[in-house]
Amino acid sequence: MIDGIKAYTSLTHLEIRGTPQELAQVVELASQMGHLTRATFLGVGNTETTLPNESFKSIQKLHVEGNGVEGIRRIASSVASPDLLELDIRWAPESTPVSEADYLPPLDRFQTLRVLTLDVPASFALYSCIAPTLSCHGLEDVYIRGRNSDFTQETLRTMAQSWPKLRYLQLALAGPSRTGVLSLGMLRCFAEFCPKLKTLSARVLLNLAGDSLNEMRQEAPGVGSALRQISVGRSAIVLPDDYKTEKQALKDVAASLLASWPNLTTLRCDWNGGYEYEWAKLERVLNSLREELSAPAS
């Protein structure tokens, strides 16, 4: 493998899968390729590699995947390119002494970064892991997957303030449908600080028979006119038992969503046989209310 790559030292794109031992040699060689702008390394382990601080000087798109936390972090830490646009890190670690605080190296030098994809180990707290990315204020597309959510209203607000240029945001949270997930109302801070946000995808809980309704009735923190779709995936929605109460609750939530995102038209649920019917009902109320509000006064 290594001999074949040595014959092409002027490569601009490299995608390779191998054993940790094979990849360690490839990464060392690729790190010093002056023309390499796009690299994908699949199967990275914790095999020792010697990477100078000034590595990957021309890289623009870097995708690193494997089960070696220390090995993957070593690669990300060595990047010296001032033009890094996309960073994709996916770790399925073996047992490791690395903590959430060390999940990512400092990223403040990557002010050109526009696209970030992180697949966070199930045992790691999400917000603690992504904290280094908050210094990348030019991010436009962010995709985060994990299980152990430690997001709060305050941390989500910090994320929204840190990424004012966001266009797409996906928070893919695994786990039970009614625990460890966000409430729909918590996401409205992105309307206040991310005016360019077009698509928002998150697993949420909307309990209109509980506290969610009072949260949604609070004044909207800001307006994001670009957003037209919220993808709720496999999210739960709980409606009141009484029809009259349900009707008013759905209208109140729809009004709250439109106060934050006046052009919102779609609430997409991918849970066939789950809560798809309930989300569709809210979507109908939302669109009916939006048409009513936009109709010319008679």
Given a contact cutoff of 8 angstroms between Cβ atoms, the answer to whether 223 and 191 are in contact is yes
pTM over 0.75: yes
Tens of pLDDT along the chain (298 residues) come to: 676 777 777 899 999 999 888 888 889 999 999 999 999 999 998 877 778 878 999 999 999 998 887 888 889 989 999 999 999 999 876 556 677 777 788 899 999 999 999 998 877 888 888 999 999 999 999 999 987 678 888 999 999 999 999 999 999 887 655 555 788 888 999 999 999 999 999 988 888 877 667 777 777 677 888 999 999 988 888 888 888 889 999 999 999 999 999 999 999 998 877 789 999 999 999 999 999 988 776 5
Task: Report how far residue 159's alpha carbon sits from residue 233's, in angstroms, rounded to the nearest whole number.
Answer: 21
Given a contact cutoff of 8 angstroms between Cβ atoms, the answer to whether 31 and 51 are in contact is yes
Task: Report how far residue 156's alpha carbon sits from residue 186's, in angstroms, rounded to the nearest whole number.
Answer: 8
Report the sign of the C-alpha dihedral through residues 13, 36, 54, 140, in that order: negative
